[in-house]
Amino acid sequence: MGYRSAVCIKCNEKAYKKLEKAIFSGEWRPDKVKRNNYGYYCIIYNWVKWCSLEFEYCKIIEETLEELDEENEEYYGFLRMGEDNEDIEKKWNDYDCLPYLVIDVSDFKDAKRIC
């Protein structure tokens, strides 16, 4: 079956416009895309295989995030939480965009998400 992760990307509208093409171009679509009351978008993948070396959809998204690092006013935060407690990957170019997840430890598939 393979190793799975919960992934959340939180970004402002300018960053979302660039990410939108990347997240909907591949074979794997996000489980949810929502906009919060502060104008930030949350792109949520739950129970997904996430490896940019193996999967093209991950590579495209991660390359787009790298491009956002070089842009002005295109802010994002990325959080990937794997099945192991210590497998957490975070990156961001604006602290206000750093997403966080609340996980129901009884069943990883039923992650509760907060952006």
The secondary structure of residue 94, as a DSSP letter, is S
Domain span including residue 51: 5-114
The 10s digit of each residue's pLDDT in 35-73 is 988 889 999 998 888 888 888 888 899 999 999 988 788
What pLDDT is attached to residue 101?
53
Mean pLDDT is highest, among 11-20, 28-37, 85-94, for 11-20
Of 104 and 23, the structure prediction assigns the larger pLDDT to: 23
Which of 26, 5, 25, 29 is CA-nearest to residue 80?
A: 5
DSSP state of 73: S
For residue 43, list its beta bridge partners: 9, 33
| Mean pLDDT of the region 8-28 | 88
Integer angstrom CA distances of residue 83 from 41, 62, 70? 25, 20, 31
Tokens of 69: 């690092």
- What does the pLDDT look like over 70-93, one tens digit per residue? 878 899 999 998 888 889 899 989
Provide mean pLDDT across the span 26-36. Answer: 85
Q: What is the total count of domains within the chain?
A: 1
What pLDDT shows up at residue 37?
Answer: 87
